[in-house]
Amino acid sequence: MSETMASRLREASPGELDPSADPRLAPDHPFLRVGTWRAFVAGEGRDEVRLVASIDPRQRVPAGLIGAIGFIATRGDVRRPATGAAMRLALAAAESWLLASGASMVRCPVQFSTWYGHRAVTDGFPEQGGPPPFPMEPVSGPGLAEVLSAARFTVAHTAASYQVPVERWVAGAQLGERLMRSAGFSDRPIRLDRLDAELGAIHAISMAAFRRSWGFSGISLDEFQAIYRPLVPHIEPAFVRLAVSPDGTPVGFVLALADPAASPGGPDARFVVKSIAVLPEVRHSAPGVGTGLAVAVHRQAAARGYAAAVHACVADEAYTQRISARFGERIRSYATFEKVLP
């Protein structure tokens, strides 16, 4: 690294970061009870690049810890030579810090862990005529995937988002709804008047349902609440629904939210289905509960004037991907990358 290039790089500790830009970077964030991070800034002016490297001891492979690089922010296009050089400089500094911290592998872009957000956009960029971003979508400009590939990262996980006509999807998925009802399960909206208990149930379901998902690591209830509590002012309870057993025990949930960029009833109105999870034992003993939950939330959206749904960030290997692809149109593609450290 030349002296000129090195002078364009600086490191910031958590206490120096501005949490108003992203509350996940606050110096008292629950993540810091178990993990640690460093921010690296390279370049100047419109070529400045900023990213955060993190270590979480709960994320491991047999060879050692998994590090993460995320919160990537660029003022310019990384396809510009100067911005691309700053990105490479920041990535190299982050990798060096992760290696010194005991990581044997790094994943990117990952904000701490997959719970906090991950994935780079690889196709369907809004800047190139793709649909506008939707709430809670990973955002990255064209060129990031190419920069990571040039830095010897390889694709570890892929996903896509689909835009689906609501009425067509409901008509095609009613069998799941009937199976759910015939097995004695019902659904209800989240109760905001007992939010702590509801988030506790959703956390427990998530830990069990996603355990075999790519990139999974357990997180505490405090961390889980820190992720989802900020969403509460923006949610419509009818769009966050719980599946309950005959005795009233929550066994699954669906998280969806309206896209505030378009009013219900308008030509561009859409809502976003972010997550669906069902306890594994229920999924095996009563097939259809997950689909029944999805039908319920689509019906709620249709009644409010939403003609289209975005099935967000569906893993390419997931069963739900086939359903979304059958009834809808793929509008965006994503990838998460990883690299074995020397």
Q: Are residues 234 and 91 in the same domain?
A: no
Q: Are residues 187 and 58 in the same domain?
A: no
Q: Percent of the chain having pLDDT more than 90? A: 75
Q: Are residues 217 and 124 in the same domain?
A: no
Range of the domain at 74: 3-159+336-340
Kindly report, residue by residue over 205-258, the tens digit of the pLDDT. Answer: 999 999 999 999 999 999 999 989 988 988 899 999 999 999 999 999 999 999
Q: Are residues 176 and 299 in the same domain?
A: yes
Question: Which residues contact residue 212 at a Cβ distance below 8 angstroms, ignoring those fewer than 6 apart?
Answer: none
Q: Are residues 207 and 223 in the same domain?
A: yes
Q: Are residues 175 and 153 in the same domain?
A: no
Kindly report, residue by residue over 138-148, the tens digit of the pLDDT. Answer: 999 899 999 99
pTM to 2 decimals?
Answer: 0.91
Q: Are residues 131 and 206 in the same domain?
A: no
The torsion angles phi and psi of 182, rounded to 5 degrees, stand at -65, -25
Coil, strand or helix: which one is 191? Answer: coil
- DSSP string computed for 200-239: HHHHHHHHHHTTTSTT-----HHHHHHHHGGGGGG--GGG
Domain count, the chain: 2
Residue 305 has pLDDT above 60, yes or no: yes
